[in-house]
Amino acid sequence: MKKFIFLATLSITLFSCKNEASTPVTTIKDTANCAKPKGKEFEMYRLSEMAALMEQMYVENSQLKERIEKGGAIGKFPEHILKIHTAKLTDPDDNDAFFKDNAAKFITAQRLIYSDTINVKQHFNEGVDACITCHKGKCGGPIARIKKLYIK
C-alpha cells in the first residue's frame, strides 16, 4: 500500500511538472511599407539586424510597461538598444539623416525613463512617441502595434 501511494505521488508530480508553456510566435504581418529583402522569394524571410532589434525593443517595452503599471522595479537602461546606431538595416539607404536624428532622440527619451523615475510614466510615453515619430517618416506598418505600448 505504501509503495502504491509513493508511486501515485511520484506520477502526479511528474505529470504536473510537464511544461506546457508554448513559446509565442511572432507573426510578421504589420510591416507594410517597411523595407523588405528583395529577390529572395525562395528563401525564408529573415529579419535584418535592425528589424530583429526593433522586435526585441517592442517586447522589452511591453514588459517595461507592465512593470511600470504594477509599480515594480524599473531596472537599468538597456545598453544593447544603442545598437540602433549601428545595426544593419534591410535597406541601407534608410540609415539617413532623418533616421540618425530620430535614433538619437529616441535614445535620449529612453534614458530619461531610468534617470528620472519620478516621472517614469511620462518618459515612457515620450519614448513611444519617439518610436512613432521615426516610423511616420520610415515605415508606417508597425505604428498601430506600437501605439498599444502607451500607458494610459
Residue 6 or 148 having the CB closest to ligand HEC: 148
Least separation in angstroms between residue 64's CB and ligand HEC is 10
Residue 35 or 74 having the CB closest to ligand HEC: 35
Residues 131 and 106: beta-carbon distance below 8 Å: yes
The whole-angstrom separation of Cα 101 and Cα 136 is 14
Residue 19 or 133 having the CB closest to ligand HEC: 133
Of 152, 96, 105, 114, nearest to 133 (Cα)?
105
Counted residue by residue, the chain has a size of 152
List interacting residues with ligand HEC (CB under 6 A): 28, 31, 34-35, 47-48, 50-51, 54-55, 57-58, 61, 89-90, 94, 99, 102-103, 106, 130-131, 134-135, 138-139, 142, 146
**Residues 104, 124, 79: CA angle, nearest 5 degrees:** 50
